[in-house]
Chain A
Amino acid sequence: MKKTVLIWLALGLAGFVLLPWHMTDDGLLDPSWITDGVAATGLFGTLAGQWWLAPAGLALVIAMILQLTVAEPVKRAKLTLSASIAGLFFMAMQGLIIVRAGPRFFEGLLTGDVIMAGQAGMGAGAGICAVALLFAATISLSQSGKGQGDAFVVSTIGLIIALVGIFVFFPVIHILVRAFEVEGGYSLTEFFPRLFSADIWGLGCLIGPRSCGVAINSLFLGVMAGLGTTILGLTFALIFTRTDFRAKKFLRILTVLPIITPPFVIGLALILLFGRAGTVTEFFADMLGWEKTRWVYGFWGVYFAQLLSFTPIAFLVLIGVVQGVSPSMEEASQTLDADRWQTFRFVSLPLMRPGLANAFLLGFIESIADFGNPLVLGSGYEVLSTEIFFAIVGSVADPAKAAILAIALLSLTMSAFIAQRLWLGKKSYATITGKADSGQNAALNPVLKGFCYAIALPWAALTLIVYSMIIFGSFVKLWGYNHSFTFDHYIRAFGVDFANWRLTGVAWDSYFTTLTISSIAAPLTAIVGLATAYLLVRQKFVGKDAFEFSTMLSFAIPGTVIGVSYIMAFNFPPIELTGTSIILIIVFVFRNMPVGVRGGIAAMSQLDKSLDEASITLGANSFTTVRRVILPLMGPAILAALTYSFVRAITSVSAVIFLVSAKHNMATAFIVGRVENGEFGLAIAYSAVLIVTMLAAILLMQLLVGTRRLRRTDRVQQAAKPA
């Protein structure tokens, strides 16, 4: 252990002495910083007057001396821990206080030209110092006599807390701070009137002609969407599990669609169908002489699009819930002479209640966090997520307003998220037990079955039409006016000049950026997610509940809020990332992390804990146990996490749209730009290509997972439960 700490400390010291402390404009691999006038490493910076860099280096040196001189292990660990924590603390303080030129805290104390000139964001040297100090601290903590210590576990916990702290909490705190900002300072008295202004929470639409506040709009839309998707999802789930409906496979496909559909594509298709020049609108105008209206650009359009987008999610949740009602309960009811309707009404439905509430809350959160559909369709209906966007990129940029709106949105999603965890967490009627349940679920009674069919089948047909529109729309010249067949949109987007081997299409740049960034983000997401899942399922430590809550938190933070918070937090030192591709990768990792965590938890819960314990009692440490026992048994979960985070990175738009730059543009942001210019054909063609790309990725995964899973489950079950 002493050796490991020393290696980290040496590495940190090397970073302090040899690498540029601050971010350089040329990138890390460009050696020009060495020859540039100012020697920019931590050490030389300190010598050149930037004395505030010294504590980090000093802490590293002191920790090293402690490691080499103190003989008693527990004392050595405790002292090293203190030194490393102090180093980290001073590093963070100098980073937060000594920023670019301009106002800062403790201005009276900190004077002098060098300080006033400020410093750039932290770079490679600072990063390595921080990591070294962090690991020196965590390894020491594990050695400091608490007894629970495993260096690998403590270090992983420390790393994840640090990452979540920097990339989830730090930006969100920035929003809070920004919201209090008024000209020339901060004010609490200004904050509350602004947060509770009528623009946001007004109820004018209920009592008069005035419109409601944006938050009320969002809330109303969210409740309606939650209810709608839950009812639709339930009818689909009932058809799927309780009837002999033939095309169940088709229903299954429905569950995959929202995963691979960029969030504004449904909205686009609805415009093509129901917009002023839409097919359906034209049809009714011609046949019945109805007036062409713009109804689709407003509440109903957004609501419709959200129902189409989120019903499959509700279906996915509810299918588990409906299947979770134990057949023997229903059989018991029937043997007690209840008919099928009574059985459903008095047994099955009450058992599903927590699941229904869960589906509702999910639909609610998805709806108010939705950015793509309101952006495309909501011109007549203002909601929080898009208003935040316009407050940042609109003609009058107003970051303070954006921050206020973000807080309003965050408080809505957080309330739903906390309600879900507190209220539903403890309440589960799931009646699946370890015992084999050989009974059969009761079939639906004829009236209910007819009702379900009457709702679900037209809806499924509509979904089908919407998706065929997407394909069809990409092949016509100008939707609504000129329906002649053309490849123009594809050629414009993905054209290749074969004579010169040049990619002439306008979409290639963003397409490749998207694929590259998604492929980098996916494995990182999987690693962070699975490591977190491992800690949550397999380790006991102080503050585990808070740890779990904070890692799942980013699920409840809407993409728009993340996007705004990132540009507010990472546009300035100490961490300056805007305009880079790194920020895109980071935003994907921390937005999609909960997905990896959940997948990992599910997979890990199925592995018998005594496998870990066996490995540990045989003398393996946690790291070896993870590498040689857990990972080999988790293949499918890893693949699923990889694919899912890859696909979600491709479809994500809300957070990304704030963070893209001319150099690093993403597909979704590019498409939104085309939509805003009215180039629907191109936008749809590009969307179709994205959908095909993701479909290929998912199919590939299913193929790999399908074959792996068979082998794994046989083996585990036979080993864990011998006859």
Chain B
Amino acid sequence: MTDTQTGSVRFEGVVKKYGDVTALKKLDLAIEPGRLVTLLGPSGCGKTTTLRLIAGLEMATEGKIFIGGENVTHLTATYRKVSMVFQSYALFPHMSVRENVAYGLTVKSVPKAEANERAEQGLELVGLAGFGDRLPSELSGGQQQRVAVARAIVLEPEVLLLDEPLSNLDAKLRRHVREEIRQIQQRLGLTAVYVTHDQEEAMAVSDNIIVMNNAEIAQIGTPADLYEAPSSAFIADFIGDANLLACDVEKSTEGVATAVLDGQRYTVPSPGIAKGAAQMVLRPHALNLGAPGQPGLKGEVTYAAYLGKEIQYTVQTDVGSLFIIAPVQADPFKQGDSVSVGIVEDHARIVAA
């Protein structure tokens, strides 16, 4: 096991209840050191609770929590070697930027000169050297965000926690800052746990993504795993866009399933699927539009949007409405056109109904 190493996080059967409300059902979890793992899910799924349990801001109702192999279940946040970047940044408004960054060091009685020096190094790391004397209110949102990161990493935590760190930034800045966070994390080899509800952000920064739903883990995997081999309809729908169509699995051998959809047979790579009713996951790119008469599902274009690099179609078929993205072509289909929709079997997946 890797969990004796610095920076690993392990949950054993952790349950969190607030009165009668269960925020987390029996969670088992292992995060390897040096990885950036994202907790992703819709609001109320328990991802922030999980993060706060790691931080020690909440206490587990049942189960055990290990950080770096040490049982920290009963330790409060003060005594855990983790630090956290908050959604609101939570910079202390009455302290200068340097005092903010040095705060964690000074409360641990690090001599003032050393604390200031390390704070300065931290600021340099996030590209804010020379800003130490300013007040947080004199910085822009992105700069405040980076101060918050500097404040968390100067303590050299075993685990760095980030709670929706980008949600207060505008779209362009968000991409820039998330790249920076990722670079710093990789350079320092930090274990980081990152909470977000934005699946694109999660896919962009993570080594691994833990998708949560209804107070439990829905799937764990790399971004590519989740996108290409979703384990459930929920994951398929939540990670990227997907068309979900009811189908019937006739045969399932060696990771390949044969399914019947709208009277036609399709052979789809889908390991471990049982026979019977199931759902076929069709990504918008995995569908081809063709002239009527070509093999596939018959349908009619009900909406077409030209977006420059691609065209988005909504096509009404006998099995439901499909969302399709097609490259721009010379003579695009128009609203009201009859079309046939071809399925690229290699890019389709089948999940349990």
Contact = CB atoms under 8 A, between A and B. Distances in A.
B140 interface: yes
A704 interface: no
Interface stretch (A111-119, A147-155, A556-564): A147-155
In the A-B complex, the 4 residue pairs with the smallest Cβ-Cβ separation, listed nearest first, are A618-B104, A718-B137, A614-B90, A722-B141
B136 interface: yes
B90 A718 contact: no
Nearest to A617: B84
Contacts of A712: 93-94
Given A608-B90, A629-B92, A618 B136 contact: no
Given A613-B84, A617-B84, A719 B77 contact: no
Contacts of B107: 615, 618-621, 624, 628
A464 interface: no
Nearest to A607: B93
A618 B103 contact: yes
Contacts of B238: none
A722 B89 contact: yes
Contacts of B87: 610
A615 B106 CA distance: 11
A613 B77 contact: yes
Nearest to B169: A722
Given A149-B76, A620-B103, A719-B92, 11 more contacts: A147-B59, A147-B60, A147-B76, A148-B76, A614-B151, A617-B55, A617-B77, A618-B104, A619-B108, A622-B78, A624-B107
B78 A621 contact: yes
A419 interface: no
B57 interface: yes
B140 A618 contact: no
B252 interface: no
Contacts of A723: 140-141
Given A148-B59, A613-B57, A714-B137, A719 B91 contact: yes
Interface string A594-616: 00000000000000101101111
Interface string A613-651: 111111111101000110011000000000000000000
A720 interface: yes
A614 B168 contact: no
A119 B74 CA distance: 45
Nearest to B86: A610
A145 interface: yes
B141 to A, nearest CB: 4
A618 B102 CA distance: 10
Contacts of B136: 715, 718-719
B79 to A, nearest CB: 8
Contact of A720 (B75, B84, B88, B152): B88
Interface residues of B, number: 40
B135 A715 contact: yes
A716 interface: yes
B82 interface: yes
Contacts of B89: 719, 722
Interface string A685-723: 000000000000000000000000000101110111111
Contacts of A615: 92, 103, 107
A720 B144 CA distance: 10
Contacts of A720: 88, 90, 93
A722 B92 contact: no
Interface in B97-136: 103-104, 107-108, 135-136
B104 A718 contact: no
Interface of B: 55-57, 59-60, 73-80, 82-84, 86-94, 103-104, 107-108, 135-137, 140-141, 144, 151-152, 155, 161, 168
B57 A719 contact: no
28 contacts: A148-B59, A148-B76, A150-B76, A150-B78, A610-B90, A614-B91, A615-B92, A615-B103, A616-B56, A617-B57, A617-B152, A618-B83, A618-B107, A618-B155, A619-B155, A620-B103, A621-B107, A624-B107, A628-B103, A632-B94, A712-B94, A716-B93, A718-B93, A718-B137, A719-B136, A719-B144, A720-B88, A721-B88
Contacts of B79: 619
Contacts of B141: 722-723
A613 B94 contact: no
Contacts of A611: 90, 92
Contacts of B94: 632-633, 712, 715
A718 B82 CA distance: 27
A147 B73 contact: yes
Contacts of A624: 107
A220 B152 CA distance: 62
Nearest to A719: B93
B74 A147 contact: yes
A715 B57 contact: no
B88 A610 contact: yes
Given A718-B136, A722-B144, A617 B93 contact: no
A22 B55 CA distance: 48
A148 B152 CA distance: 23
A145 B140 CA distance: 43
Nearest to A143: B74
A616 B93 contact: no
A144 to B, nearest CB: 10
Nearest to B87: A610
Contacts of B84: 613-614, 617
A373 B227 CA distance: 78
Nearest to A153: B76
Contact of B76 (A145, A616, A632): A616
